[in-house]
Amino acid sequence: MKIQKDQILSCNKSEIESHKENFDFLSQKLNKQGHDVNNILTRLADFQVAIPSWALGAGGTRFGRFSFFGEPSSLEQKIEDIGILHSLTQTAGAVSLHIPWDIPSDYNAIKEKANALDIKFDAVNSNTFQDQKGAKESYKYGSLSNTSKAVREQAIQHNLDVIKIGDKLGSKALTVWLADGSCFPGQNNFQTAFQNTQDSLIDIYKGLPDDWKMLVEYKPYEPNFYSTVIQDWGASLMLANGCGDKAYTLVDLGHHLPNSNIEQIVSILQLKGKLGGFHFNDSKYGDDDLTVGSIKPYALFLIFNELVYGMANNPQNPDLAWMIDASHNVKDPLEDLIQSLEAIQEAYAKALLVNQDELKAAQLNNDVVKCQEIIQGAYRTDVRPLLEKARLTRGGAISPINTYRALDIRGQLIKERGKNTVATGL
């Protein structure tokens, strides 16, 4: 299933008038304020976010899973779904694979398919949080941190294998997330678990190609509920530093205790040149993996404000691997991803409207009220016409959700793939 350009064009027809009106009004206003609208549009169009291969099927909880039907049941079909997202939004130009959930069977065919749809292979994710079929050792009590050398070696080898798979596809980063930890006090020796993890990561790092990055993801709890070995950015940064220059911290928005100041974490990691990747989602309580921007859009904007500052002022920090890490069980996964992509672009566009020079001057004058006016002035601007324009100039949809529904994409996928499909993943 592939959306044709003229299908999008014809859907755009009914929206073009009002888009033009709204865009002209906004761009005139922004130009008057001294913004370079064309530059903002280019930056929006250039901002591509990877879609995780595990988010294309309806997600589940441990209590149940309700299909949306027509879900992709092979990697090929997942790439096709990302192609649909990309042609509508023009911002989903990459895929992030989770191994072994999505091992390509035919590398050339997969690469050709992705290439034809203008999709790149972003970071590859290893999985040592589940036991794999036929595996000799079990990860029940941890993987890279395990007290057993044989288990650690198996987990190290898996990560090395994932690098090899990613290398064949053109990926340039390995993301390591560990479920390792303990459920009860006294179960683990914190120091031994941490040191084992460091030593294992160093062994993986040794197998990393020169032009690759290793991204170390942290998370405070779940599935372990008393302690997690890589529980926060401090632990991740220590481990990354212990490996070397090509190792970085990865921030997943849902992996923080309530009310953590994520924008400050992001800012300081960039200052130190150690922010390597980002997983977008939203949450009310924990690692809820809800649609980006659905719960705390202001927090997302504040994070983007720091990211924009860092991208402009911290050349010591590399380009980031951006990925959506959201998945749940009440929305059509493609519509959900469209909403997430929109929320990311919206927060980014608003952050680009913050006048950094004025903000710096207000900060130097300790004009606290002015600082807040500048930040919130940008946040309160309705930037959606900018997003529409950025998509439109690339042949995308003015409204991706409306077009998705008007073209009855889910209906067509069901016709093509059948009802009883199940995607691999969570």
Site for ligand LRH, rule CB under 6 A:
54, 125, 177, 217, 219, 252, 279, 287, 325, 426
> Smallest distance, Å, CB 338 to Mn ion?
20
Q: For residue 300, what is the DSSP state?
A: H
Cβ distance to ligand LRH smaller for residue 282 or 388: 282
> Smallest distance, Å, CB 287 to Mn ion?
4
The answer to whether residues 79 and 110 touch, using CB atoms and an 8 Å cutoff, is yes
Long-range contacts formed by 153-157: CB under 8 A, 24+ apart: 155/128, 155/200, 156/200, 156/203, 156/204
In the region spanning residues 253 to 292, those forming contacts with Mn ion, defined by CB under 5 A, are 279, 287
Residue 122 binding Mn ion, by CB under 5 A: no
How far is the C-alpha of 42 from the C-alpha of 334, rounded, in Å?
Answer: 25
Cβ distance to Mn ion smaller for residue 203 or 325: 325
User: Residue with the closest Cβ to ligand LRH?
Assistant: 177
> Smallest distance, Å, CB 151 to ligand LRH?
19
Q: Which of 71, 203, 325, 342 binds Mn ion (CB under 5 A)?
A: 325
- Give the Å distances, CA to CA, from 224 to 149, 188, 213, 220: 21, 12, 27, 9
Cβ distance to Mn ion smaller for residue 71 or 287: 287
125 binds, among Mn ion, ligand LRH, none (CB under 5 to 8 A by kind): ligand LRH
Q: In sequence order, what DSSP letters do the residues of 147-202 get, joined into one string?
A: S-HHHHHHHHHHHHHHHHHHHHHT--EEEE----EESSTTSS-HHHHHHHHHHHHH
Cβ distance to ligand LRH smaller for residue 32 or 140: 140
Nearest to 49 by CA among 421, 378, 360, 341: 341
280 binds, among Mn ion, ligand LRH, none (CB under 5 to 8 A by kind): none
87 binds, among Mn ion, ligand LRH, none (CB under 5 to 8 A by kind): none
Structure tokens at 329: 């069980």
Q: For residue 131, what is the DSSP state?
A: P
Cβ distance to Mn ion smaller for residue 286 or 377: 286
Cβ distance to ligand LRH smaller for residue 122 or 252: 252
The answer to whether residues 383 and 350 touch, using CB atoms and an 8 Å cutoff, is yes
Cβ distance to ligand LRH smaller for residue 81 or 252: 252
Cβ distance to ligand LRH smaller for residue 41 or 251: 251
Question: Would strands 181-182 and 120-121 be described as parallel, antiparallel, or unpaired?
Answer: unpaired
- 339: CB partners within 8 A, 6+ apart: 291, 292, 293, 294, 331, 401
> Smallest distance, Å, CB 258 to ligand LRH?
16
> Smallest distance, Å, CB 22 to Mn ion?
35
In the region spanning residues 287 to 306, those forming contacts with Mn ion, defined by CB under 5 A, are 287
> Smallest distance, Å, CB 277 to ligand LRH?
10
How far is the C-alpha of 166 from the C-alpha of 126, rounded, in Å?
Answer: 10
**Amino acid of residue 307:** L
Q: Compute how many other C-beta atoms are within 10 angstroms of the C-beta atom of residue 331.
A: 19
> Smallest distance, Å, CB 326 to Mn ion?
9
332 binds, among Mn ion, ligand LRH, none (CB under 5 to 8 A by kind): none
Cβ distance to ligand LRH smaller for residue 250 or 386: 250
> Smallest distance, Å, CB 372 to ligand LRH?
33
Nearest to 273 by CA among 304, 244, 303: 244
Residue 410 binding Mn ion, by CB under 5 A: no
User: CA-based Rg of the chain, rounded to a whole angstrom?
Assistant: 22
Residue 252 binding Mn ion, by CB under 5 A: yes
SS3 215: strand
The answer to whether residues 25 and 384 touch, using CB atoms and an 8 Å cutoff, is no
Cα 14 to its chain centre, rounded Å, is 32
> Smallest distance, Å, CB 279 to Mn ion?
4
* Residues found near Mn ion in the complex (CB under 5 A): 252, 279, 287, 325
